[in-house]
Every structure is written in structure tokens, then in C-alpha cells.
């Protein structure tokens, strides 16, 4: 099975900071990667699909890039509502997997 | 409105059986896969498996194969996740989720509210 490894596992940042989260796949997954945001006690929310496509209604400060085995999620200017945990997700397969998550906290 | 509504929280003892549900509405239930995702306390998301209610085609993550059973009743637009003998380690929040594209293994844009299962 393909493994997804996110880094860092946690990060502390301030409002207005540029934040980058990395997701590495154990083998090539083309562009079949999505990013979700999850807040405590809530279901995940889709942010990015096909590695770099912004889901409708998601603020443009979120962006995704990458293909093959290395992917990034970037928040260009962190806002108070963005403090949450972020997960990458390999889909379009019968053997899907999530990364272990990156918790973005307040510095 | 497209939505998935899950059954309420459950508190069970080790060794007991349990079946939780996820009812879809606002769309053609038989045309979209439904996935189950586990989140243990303080931990990340784990993909458990997926079912296509149209023909009950079911696939499991190797980590969950043999540990749970996924099923669906298309007559009432409901998918299920069941255990025959619960363990304390099954304590978790369980989410169902629907892919965006009908018939495809797409990203999940519709999620249930989650069902908290406590085994103690």
C-alpha cells in the first residue's frame, strides 16, 4: 500500500504568516492528491483536489502544488480561522490513504 | 440539499456487536460510493473501506479487512458499518463520506457528522 507522510506534524505560526505543509507519497500517485482541513469535533472539509485545484468556496490564500511523490499545501497569509489540522489524501483508488495530519497552532 | 446523516453515539462493552448507519438524501444513493473513515481519540484519519450501493461492490483497507463489515440497503438509502465483537481499541469517531463524482473514486465533498463509538 502507498503511504503518505506529512511534515511537519505540528507547527506554530502567527496570523499573516506564510505556511507550507508537505506530503510525500511512498510511490508515484500522479496528481491524485487532495487536502482537507479539520477542526475539533467536526468532519473534514475539502480544500484542494487533483493536487492543485481549489475547491469552490475555499479562500484563494490556500494553494496546492506537486505531482508524483511530493506535494505541498500553502496558506499564503494565515488567518485566525485557519488554525486547524490538515490532512493529505490519496484517492482514485480502491486502496486509499490519509497522511497522519499537520496541526497548525497559534505561536 | 445533499447530506449524510449518521446514527447517534453508542456505548458498548467489549465483545458486544454494533451496527452504525449513514443515511444519504438529496441525491441518487445508488450512484455514488460511500466510504467509512475512522478517527481514534486525538489521532488522524484512517480510510477503512468503501461500498457502491448500486451493486454492493465493497472494498476494504487491508488494516480493516476481517475486522468490520460494510454493507448498504439501497431501499432506504443507508450504508452500515458493523462489528461482531467490539474491542476497546474500536473506540473512535467514525465518519461516512461521499465522493464528489457519481460512480467515481473521487475526493470526498460530503461528510456525515460522525458517530462516536465508545467501548468500555
Tens of pLDDT along B5-22? 999 999 999 999 999 999
Q: What is residue B101's DSSP assignment?
A: S
Please identify which residue in the block is written with the cell numbers 482537507: A36
Give how far A103 is from chain B: nearest CA, Å.
Answer: 10
**Phi, psi for residue B112 in degrees, rounded to 5:** -75, 170
d(CA B94, CA B91): 9
Q: Touching check for B109 and chain A: CB below 8 Å?
A: yes
Q: Is B73 exposed, middle or buried (0-12, 13-18, 19+ CB in 10 A)?
A: middle
d(CA A90, CA A58): 20
Q: Which of A 32-71 lie inside 8 A of B, CB atoms?
A: 34, 36, 38, 43-44, 46, 49, 55
B37-89 pLDDT, tens digit each: 999 999 999 999 999 999 999 999 999 999 999 999 999 999 999 999 999 99
What is the average pLDDT across B103-112?
A: 94
Which residues fall within 8 angstroms of residue B31, CB to CB, at 6 or more apart? B54, B102, B103
Contact B49, B114 (CB under 8 A): no
- Identify the band that residue B102 occupies on the pLDDT scale cut at 50, 70 and 90: confident
Contact A13, A107 (CB under 8 A): yes
d(CA B89, CA B80): 19
Nearest to B45 among A1, A44, A49 (CB): A44
Contact across the interface for B46 and A49, Cβ inside 8 Å: no
pLDDT for the residue numbered A1:
87
Contact across the interface for A87 and B44, Cβ inside 8 Å: yes
Q: Which residue of B has its CA nearest to A50?
A: B107
What is the average pLDDT across A89-101?
A: 96
pLDDT for the residue numbered B111:
98
B29 by DSSP, 3-state: which? helix
Amino acid at each position: 500500500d502507498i503511504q503518505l507522510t506529512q511534515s511537519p506534524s505540528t507547527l506554530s505560526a502567527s496570523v499573516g504568516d506564510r505556511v507550507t505543509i508537505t506530503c510525500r507519497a511512498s510511490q508515484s500517485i500522479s496528481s491524485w492528491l487532495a487536502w482537507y482541513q479539520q477542526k475539533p469535533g467536526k468532519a473534514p472539509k475539502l480544500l484542494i483536489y487533483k493536487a492543485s485545484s481549489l475547491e469552490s468556496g475555499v479562500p484563494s490564500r490556500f494553494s496546492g502544488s506537486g505531482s508524483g511523490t511530493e506535494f505541498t499545501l500553502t496558506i499564503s497569509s494565515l488567518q485566525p480561522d485557519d488554525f486547524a489540522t490538515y490532512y493529505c489524501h490519496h484517492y482514485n483508488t480502491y486502496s486509499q490513504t490519509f497522511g497522519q495530519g499537520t496541526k497548525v497552532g497559534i505561536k | 440539499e445533499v447530506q449524510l446523516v449518521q446514527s447517534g453515539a453508542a456505548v458498548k462493552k467489549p465483545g458486544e456487536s454494533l451496527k452504525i448507519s449513514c443515511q444519504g438524501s438529496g441525491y441518487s444513493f445508488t450512484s455514488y460510493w460511500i466510504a467509512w473513515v475512522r478517527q481514534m481519540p486525538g489521532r488522524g484519519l484512517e480510510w477503512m473501506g468503501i461500498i457502491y450501493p448500486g451493486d454492493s461492490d465493497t472494498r476494504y483497507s487491508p488494516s480493516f479487512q476481517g475486522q468490520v463489515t460494510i454493507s448498504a440497503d439501497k431501499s432506504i438509502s443507508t450504508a452500515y458499518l458493523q462489528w461482531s465483537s467490539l474491542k476497546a481499541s474500536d473506540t473512535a469517531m467514525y465518519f461516512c463520506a461521499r465522493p464528489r463524482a457519481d460512480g467515481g473514486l473521487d475526493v470526498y465533498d460530503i461528510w456525515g457528522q460522525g458517530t462516536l463509538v465508545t467501548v468500555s
